[in-house]
Copies of this chain bind each other. A is one copy, B any other.
Amino acid sequence: MPNNITIDKTALLSRLRSLGDIGRNADGALTRLAASDADKQGRNQLVAWFEDAGLEVCVDRIGNIFGIWKIESEIAPLMMGSHIDSVINAGIFDGCYGVLSALSVIEAMKSGGVKPDRPLMVAVFTNEEGVRYTPDMMGSLVYAGGLDADEALTTVGIDGTILGEELSRIGYAGEMEPGDIVPSAFIEVHVEQGPVLEVEGKLMGAVANLQGIFWQKVTIRGVANHAGTTPTRLRTDAGLAAAKVITYLRGLVDNSDSVATVGTIEFGPNVINVIPDFAKFTVDLRDPDLAVWETRQAALVNFLAELEKSDGVTIETEQLARFEPVVFDENIVQMIEEAAAEQQFSCRRMTSGAGHDAQMMARICPTAMIFVPSRDGISHNPLEHTEDEALVAGTKVLLDTATRIVTGS
């Protein structure tokens, strides 16, 4: 890549901080929920930056914003981006980094005299976090054709609002039909939101796939009895059965790429000297490989069935969520690895443990992601942090990868 094509680090980092100041409450906590007033302010700021960069701005019916560097071409655009909505009491990097990084890349290409063979687009997807409106990754899901736009627009939020009305209110109910422009490729840069890069001392992740996510609620029913007068052989202990599931799950995934988490639990009647007659808990089970992931789910089903027999309990399960694993485009992943190698950035192939807009875009075009380290693996938290050098490095790799694609080099 020619040396005169460089990222404007100062602009990138100062925009990240500026955008991170939009949506702060009196205590300084950052919350920029989808289609809220704070989101409107953030969107307005982005649109201003897009226009300053000479990009054409268009908005689709689900509120996704696109900043387009128009190029006359037969080739479909290269799209880059992420989201700027946040969780409650958020950090400043999640999503915003991917959007501003993409903007910096286009600016660098423009000022460096790159002649792309196709248009370039920065995408800002609506409601990735899913805090105010369910499901999460909604804007990209609609864009990829996985959810009807009209249906999505009628979604009622946790505050009783309707997404479509809120988008109109904040001025981001656009006219473009979601999915009208099918990109030739999509690349999303993101903070890792996990500890792997930091622990391994790597600066960069070439994200080759994304875990399937399975969420289940499990209710085990036993018999409440006196903790002193009921001999062990006469117990039907729902709490013990739940503990067996938790330890089983760890054994199931240990030394594999799968992860399993029991994050919530409740016993009833929850009294010190009464054997629990129910235990309710949730299972979060993930794996990047579809077959492995489904095998794990089936193993859990079998284990619960055996537990009903061995422990005399009854077990009900309810599926709360299920997103299949996504495999990203091998060509783009290799280009990312090559770009990192050329810059002498330490890099590892990796799996995304969290969900991202890229997993939706992968349905309609070749897609991949670039990760940079998250300090202590922390995200969705004001302590979310990535070093400036890593932020710039990730953007350089995106620039290099995008340049390879749009110049055929």
Closest to A194 in B: B229
Type the 1/0 row for A348-391, where 1 means its CB is closer than 8 Å to any CB of B.
00001111000000000000000000000101100000000000
Knowing A199-B234, A354-B228, A377-B229 are in contact, say whether A239-B262 is a contact too (CB < 8 A): yes
- The answer to whether B254 touches A232 (Cβ under 8 A) is yes
- The answer to whether A276 touches B263 (Cβ under 8 A) is yes
A206 within 8 A of B: no
For A196, the chain B residues whose CB sits under 8 A away are 229, 231, 234
- CA gap between A355 and B228 in the complex, in Å: 9
A227 within 8 A of B: yes
- The answer to whether A227 touches B259 (Cβ under 8 A) is yes
A225 within 8 A of B: yes
A62 within 8 A of B: no
Closest to A283 in B: B272
In the complex, what's the smallest C-beta–C-beta distance from A11 to chain B, in angstroms?
A: 29
- The answer to whether B263 touches A226 (Cβ under 8 A) is no
- The answer to whether B265 touches A272 (Cβ under 8 A) is no
A169 within 8 A of B: no
A215 within 8 A of B: yes
- The answer to whether A239 touches B267 (Cβ under 8 A) is no
- CA gap between A238 and B24 in the complex, in Å: 33
A115 within 8 A of B: no
- The answer to whether B263 touches A267 (Cβ under 8 A) is yes
Closest to A354 in B: B228
Closest to A253 in B: B232
- The answer to whether A226 touches B265 (Cβ under 8 A) is no
- CA gap between A181 and B192 in the complex, in Å: 76
- The answer to whether A284 touches B227 (Cβ under 8 A) is yes
For A229, the chain B residues whose CB sits under 8 A away are 192-196, 352-354, 377, 379
For A354, the chain B residues whose CB sits under 8 A away are 226, 228-229
For A263, the chain B residues whose CB sits under 8 A away are 227, 239, 267, 270-276
Interface residues on A, range: 35 or more
- CA gap between A262 and B270 in the complex, in Å: 9
- The answer to whether B273 touches A225 (Cβ under 8 A) is no
- The answer to whether A272 touches B276 (Cβ under 8 A) is no
- CA gap between A189 and B236 in the complex, in Å: 28
- The answer to whether B240 touches A247 (Cβ under 8 A) is yes
A295 within 8 A of B: no
A322 within 8 A of B: no
In the complex, what's the smallest C-beta–C-beta distance from A243 to chain B, in angstroms?
A: 4
- CA gap between A101 and B154 in the complex, in Å: 70
A211 within 8 A of B: yes
9 CB-based A-B contacts, threshold 8 Å: A194-B226, A196-B229, A230-B259, A240-B247, A243-B243, A263-B270, A264-B270, A265-B267, A272-B282
A-B pairs, top 7 by smallest CB distance, nearest first, are A194-B229, A229-B353, A228-B353, A243-B246, A227-B261, A243-B243, A227-B284
A228-B355, A229-B377 given; 14 more Cβ-contact pairs under 8 Å: A194-B228, A195-B229, A199-B234, A225-B377, A226-B353, A226-B377, A226-B380, A227-B261, A227-B284, A240-B262, A243-B247, A243-B262, A247-B247, A264-B271
